[in-house]
Amino acid sequence: MILISFSLSFFSAGAQDTLTLEPYVGNLKKITVQIQSNHYSFLFDTGGGETFISNEIVNQIHKEKYGKVIGLKMSGETFYSERCDSVILEIGNTVIFHQTIGVWDVMKALPKELPHIDGILSLKSFEDKILTVDLSNNYLIVETDNSFTDKIKGFNKIESVWSTGQSGLELVFFLPIIQKGHTYLFLFDSGNLDLFTISKSTALAWGLENGQATTDKRYNTNINYLDKIINVDIVSKEIIYDGAINYSFIKSGIYMLDLKHKKVWVSL
The predicted model scores a pTM of 0.90
- Residue in 150, 151, 143 with CA at minimum distance from that of residue 18: 143
For 178-205, write each residue's pLDDT tens digit: 998 999 999 999 999 899 999 999 999 9
Per-residue pLDDT at 11: 41
Per-residue pLDDT at 111: 86
Architecture of domain 2-149 in this structure: Beta Barrel (2.40)
Domain range 153-267, CATH class: mainly beta
Per-residue pLDDT at 14: 53
| Cβ-contact 203, 209 below 8 angstroms | yes
Percentage, residues of the chain above pLDDT 90: 79
Percentage, residues of the chain above pLDDT 70: 94
For 45-59, write each residue's pLDDT tens digit: 999 999 999 999 999
In this chain, the answer to whether the domains covering 2-149 and 153-267 adopt an identical fold is yes
| Paired residues of 5 in beta bridges | none
More confidently predicted of 32 and 10: 32
For 148-181, write each residue's pLDDT tens digit: 999 999 899 999 999 998 888 999 999 999 998 9
Position 211 pLDDT exceeds 60: yes
Residues 6+ apart with CB under 8 A from 188: 46, 47, 160, 172, 173, 174, 175, 245, 250, 255
Q: Kindly list the domain boundaries of the chain, sorted by start residue.
A: 2-149, 153-267
CB atoms under 10 Å from CB of 268, counted, come to 11
Position 9 pLDDT exceeds 90: no
Per-residue pLDDT at 168: 87
Q: How confident is the model at residue 147 (pLDDT cuts 50, 70, 90)?
A: very high
| Cβ-contact 250, 241 below 8 angstroms | no
Per-residue pLDDT at 139: 94
| Cβ-contact 169, 260 below 8 angstroms | no
